[in-house]
A and B are shown apart, each in its own frame.
Chain A
Amino acid sequence: MNAIEILGLEKIYNAGFWRKRSKRALRPLTLAVDDGEIFGFLGPNGAGKTTTLKILMGLVFPTAGTARILGMELDDPRMKAQIGFLPEQPYFYDHLTARELLKYYGQLSGVDPKQLSRKVDAALEQVKLSNSANLQLRKFSKGMLQRAGIAQAILHDPKVVFLDEPMSGLDPMGRREVRNLIEDLKANGKTVFFSTHILSDAEALCDRVAIINQGELRGIGAVPELTASVHGKVEIVWQGAAVPTGIRSMGAQCHSAGDTTRLILPEENQDTALEALRRERLRLISVVPVRTSLEDYFVAQLGTAAKSEVVSSELVTDGHNRLSKQ
């Protein structure tokens, strides 16, 4: 079964009170997340990640399209009792202590009152906030708030957990803890859907990732599948500062540092480059394949223009025209 199904979601924000300016945050976006997988939702700033999550949580309404979670409509309370959500830069009732906040949220989620205390303590323990449990949230640091946010997202033992940039604001220890926590959730059969720009986290954790840009899906699949399609690169290092003309003409960038020169170029040019070095009798130090990372794929996907780019530029020029007429 699909834990999450997104069917052609579209969102156009109407900004400006007097003069309506519209901003297209999602062009029809369609994707499905399987039950029990860790799914990474990647994209640059302003790509529409938070917008997608807010629509799924019923906080904003889509301009068009629908989505289902656990096979149920977005406004179904039965479904909402089974999901957890960590918003971006979470902020909570700051008159409450962490423990009171979690109790309150547990009550709203319909947690059995007899188990509430135990669940609250367990969640606090999981995010390492037990020592600050009785501190008012207004006295929390950014990272502590983030931890409280994660605690409230998993408190009621939800089946699907949505996390909007879960690692943001956390120290290195905290990031590792959250990574472990996400893996534990998966081990317990939960589905995790999280947005991030930290590609190494996505690479390490996700069963599958989706990359969106300007509200549009640019790629989806398991990380090895995606990166396989990107051509590899190699790093060549040799002694001396001399650069053979053959290499210069390939347009590659060389960096000389001290007694060595370093060059990174696409795999297919490797032989030609080595040939050139041999001809000049330069002393080769190393040839190392540069692992293609999700980052390369990410950058490659953002570089390619999608079909609807035209629409977006129209929208932009439209906005500019209107602005310049003012």
Chain B
Amino acid sequence: MNNRILHIATNTFREAVRDRVLYNLIAFALLMSAAAVLVGQISIQIEKLVVINLGLTAVSLFGIVIAIFIGIGLVSKEIDKRTLYTVLSRPVRRWEFIAGKFFGLAGTLVVNTIFMGIGVFAALAYVSHHFESSDFGILVALYFIILQFVVITALALLFSSFSTPIFAPIFAFWLFVIGNFAQDLRTFAAMAHGTTRVLATAAAYLVPNFSALNVISQVAHGEPVPHRLILLNTAYVLVYSAAVLSGAVMIFERRNLK
């Protein structure tokens, strides 16, 4: 990575930390301990299933909310507050700024997810006292969750780069929800006819495919995740995010700062 991108990413990470973003970990820790204790009292059979399901879903939701709310402000807030003036008047190209912001937030989310992942494993250890080889799937699920954050971060940056968005967080969240039904949307598109088919197909492929990135319930049931899916998902997220980020750069390159 070029130095300027690294410095911008580091500053973005530092800003998130100082704005107490990592405090969400406290809420997460409380949630996990409460869940572990409660579940342990209810049943013995399904407690592991519940802890994994609940834990991973919480990891995903906490991260999505952070990605959207920080991501939306990454560029627009800097334009509004005019902090960008003294950055862009230096030898920093606009695409480098976008890239730095992207890696900074993605890095923040990775660190956040690592801590939460440790929390999930701790809760698991508390209820089942030992690990099995199928628990390795949890790591894959966490990896996929991080991939989701990468996509959401890229999308949030895109929204952030064209205007001062009021509706952007809502829009981004809906995109996340719809993305979770991307598979169903594709199935629907395949069955439809005429214009509907064209529109549905376009929508199905434009929307980020979060359903393929969600293996939580599979993992909770101890089913293995195919290796091919890991590879495909990685490639998909790289291509999709690169395309979205290019869009963000193209818009931002032309933008007049207010």
Contact = CB atoms under 8 A, between A and B. Distances in A.
B86 A152 contact: yes
Given A59-B85, A80-B89, A152-B86, A54 B257 contact: yes
Main SS of chain A's interface residues? loop
Contacts of B90: 80-81, 105, 108-109
B3 interface: yes
A303 B230 CA distance: 73
B91 interface: yes
Contacts of B81: 91
Instruction: Please provide the 9 A-B residue pairs with the shortest distance between their CB atoms, ordered closest to farther.
Output: A77-B91, A60-B256, A85-B89, A95-B18, A57-B89, A80-B91, A87-B85, A59-B257, A108-B90
B83 A93 contact: yes
B256 A85 contact: no
Nearest to B10: A104
Contacts of B15: 93, 95
A81 B89 CA distance: 9
A105 B18 contact: no
Nearest to B256: A60
Most buried by A among B8, B18, B19, B86: B86
11 contacts: A59-B257, A60-B257, A80-B92, A81-B91, A83-B89, A85-B89, A87-B85, A105-B87, A107-B4, A110-B91, A152-B86
B86 A78 contact: no
B193 interface: no
A87 B91 contact: no
A58 interface: yes
A61 interface: yes
A64 to B, nearest CB: 14
Interface in A37-62: 54, 57-61
B91 A57 contact: no
Size class of the contact patch on chain B? 20 to 34
Contacts of B257: 54, 59-60
Contacts of A81: 90-91
A9 to B, nearest CB: 14
A109 B92 CA distance: 8
Given A54-B257, A104-B11, A107-B3, A92 B83 contact: yes
Interface string A91-126: 111011000000011011110000000000000000
A58 B91 contact: no
B86 A85 contact: yes
Instruction: Name which of A61, A77, A93, A105 has the most chain B CB atoms within 10 A of its CB.
Output: A93
Contacts of B82: 87, 89-91
A152 B87 CA distance: 10
Nearest to B92: A108
B19 A57 contact: no
Interface in A279-315: none
A176 B236 CA distance: 60
Contacts of A110: 3, 91
Contacts of B256: 59-61
Contacts of A91: 81-83
B85 A85 contact: yes
Interface in B48-105: 81-93
Contacts of A57: 85, 88-89
Select the residue from B18, B87, B90 with max chain A CB neighbours within 10 A: B90
